[in-house]
Amino acid sequence: MASLTPSCCLFLLCTWLGVSLVCPQITYETYYFDQKIDHFGFYEDSTFKQRYLVCDSHWKTPNGPILFYTGNEGDITLFSNNTGFMWDVAEELRAMLVFAEHRYYGESMPFGNLSYSEPKYLNYLTSEQALADFAVLIRFFKESGDAKHSPVIAIGGSYGGMLAAWLRMKYPHVVVGALAASAPVWQFENLVPCNLYYQIVTNDFKKSGAGCAESVTKSWAAINRMGETDDGIKWLSLAFHLCSPLKGKEDVTAMKSWLIETWVNLAMVDYPYPASFLEPLPAWPIKEVCKHLRNPKLEDKALLQNIFEAINVYYNYTGDTSCLNISQNAVGSLGDLGWSYQACTEMVMPVCADGVTDMFEPQTWDFDSYSDDCYKLWGVRPRKSWITSQYGGRNISAASNILFSNGDLDPWSAGGVKQSLSDSLVAILISDGAHHLDLRSNNAYDPKSVIQARALEVAYMKKWIKQYGEQSHVQGV
């Protein structure tokens, strides 16, 4: 396969190594594969174009491996551009890189512009269909061209990490192993305590500056008091430079949700160097945020003024943002609409807060009201037990060759596998690591933990590749 050089990628993957700006030659070609819209039924027999990106410049036939990114909820270029790890190890592993886009995201729309228009068109947005897409695409790779003898390794982060793990569990004949980075495969039902998630966020703030978490804790009551009067609501809109002024108490509630999401996202991307995964941010962004939140004992307006300055680190690090929009999704380029549907169907991940062990207002997990909200929003109801019935919950010891990596700063590590379950179901813990830090490019500011994690990941991959070679030799495949 020939190669193109998309300029977007060159820019995003440049990283500072010591004093040098290193820009690995990242080139890929874009392809489209005809996938069945419905793998699990025959009444809807149409196909759609699934986008995937391929870089084979380091690939050595006849048995160089394929590193296959199991695309998650977003445009696949977002993940190819933020998974520097794969680009970094391609040469050493003599690997082809493939980034497969998840259906209903980016350009991979089963019903074109209609895909999100009605529940009947959204019906094929499930993890099972996505895994089947990957399995069928990998088979196509193995049967066409020179990849017949190439072992395939699934790699993904976050939901993509869940997909990588599940692909190995459900389709072990297509991938020899999986790296599931920051994959909260156990954030379902009651597999983990629902308040762990917010506790981790809180701990990140606690250790990033004195008074920081406490300031956030106090902010909710302050906002509530302001929200009791029209003047207070007006003040909030001005103080937070909101693009659309709050119109009443409901908007104040929405503003609080937006703040919660922002604190959570900061915890996810608390990387040790400047990065632009969700938003452009400085190194250790929570530390920057906490510089504004040193005094939790201020009176309401002064405290909330500081909260605004803190939030501004997240939304306006570049200084280009003239106003803040609480209805804008907090995660920039991710496909929030699709994820909202997935969360309202399969991906029911209970979270709760108690306001004591965490810095948030108490918030119970109420499935019934969650379900009602989903029905209003999407016309479908979530099934809270389905994911564990399908993928096994905690009982996954029959699987093999899966690496579960988790960083301790990452709220999603709450639902991660943090203890090895067997010799080949291996937990890798990354201290000072945020959301799938290990999947990012090498960086001079990487903590030692992530350097070790990546080395271990590569060692396991080499082991799987070797095993595959030995097995193929025996079987004459």
Catalytic residues: 158, 410, 435
In eight-state DSSP terms, residue 412 is G
122 binds its own copies (CB under 8 A): yes
Angle at 281 (CA atoms; ends 280, 285), nearest 5 degrees: 160
Q: HSE (CB half, 13 Å, CA atoms) of 8?
A: 9
User: Using CB under 8 A as the criterion, what x/- string covers residues 26-55 for binding its own copies?
Assistant: ----------x--xxxxxxx----------
Among 6, 24, 393, 447, binds its own copies (CB under 8 A): 393
253 binds its own copies (CB under 8 A): no
User: Which is nearest to 80 in space by CA: 130, 137, 168, 6?
Assistant: 6
369: left (phi over 0), alpha (psi -120 to 50) or beta: alpha
Give the interface segment with its own copies, choosing from 71-79, 168-176, 298-306, 319-327 (CB under 8 A): 168-176
The residue count for binding its own copies (CB under 8 A) is 43
Rounded-to-integer distance, Cα 246 and Cα 242, Å: 8
- Closer residue to its own copies in complex, CB, 18/43: 43
Max distance between CA atoms of the chain, in angstroms, equals 78
Please report how close the Cβ of residue 412 comes to its own copies at its closest, in angstroms: 22
Rounded-to-integer distance, Cα 435 and Cα 269, Å: 6
**Coil, helix or strand at residue 285:** helix
What counts of helices (H) and strands (E) characterise the chain? Answer: 16, 10
- Closer residue to its own copies in complex, CB, 119/245: 119
Residues 325-354 that bind its own copies (CB under 8 A): 345-346
124 binds its own copies (CB under 8 A): yes
Among 385, 420, 422, 431, binds its own copies (CB under 8 A): 385
Please report how close the Cβ of residue 169 comes to its own copies at its closest, in angstroms: 8
Structure tokens at 290: 């906490």
383 binds its own copies (CB under 8 A): yes
Q: In the beta sheet, which residues pair with residue 97?
A: 55, 67
- Closer residue to its own copies in complex, CB, 244/389: 389
- Closer residue to its own copies in complex, CB, 125/437: 125
Among 29, 128, 146, 408, binds its own copies (CB under 8 A): 128
Among 49, 58, 139, 287, binds its own copies (CB under 8 A): 139
Among 82, 265, 306, 400, binds its own copies (CB under 8 A): 400
Please report how close the Cβ of residue 237 comes to its own copies at its closest, in angstroms: 38
Rounded-to-integer distance, Cα 124 and Cα 50, Å: 13
Helical spans, DSSP H, in 316-443: 336-343, 367-378, 386-391
Among 120, 225, 249, 297, binds its own copies (CB under 8 A): 120
User: Which is nearest to 240 in space by CA: 126, 316, 145, 183?
Assistant: 316
Please report how close the Cβ of residue 118 comes to its own copies at its closest, in angstroms: 9
Core vs surface per residue 70-94: b (16+ CB within 10 A) or e: bbbbbbbbbbbbbbbbbbbbbeebe
Residues 443-472 that bind its own copies (CB under 8 A): 471
Residues 169-188 that bind its own copies (CB under 8 A): 170-173
Among 27, 61, 123, 452, binds its own copies (CB under 8 A): 123
Please report how close the Cβ of residue 401 comes to its own copies at its closest, in angstroms: 8
Structure tokens at 251: 């908007």
Structure tokens at 332: 């920039």
- Closer residue to its own copies in complex, CB, 42/473: 42
436: left (phi over 0), alpha (psi -120 to 50) or beta: left
Among 190, 369, 395, 420, binds its own copies (CB under 8 A): 395
- The residues binding its own copies (CB under 8 A) are 36, 39-45, 119-120, 122-124, 126, 128-129, 132, 135-136, 139, 170-173, 345-346, 380-383, 385-386, 389-390, 392-393, 395-400, 471
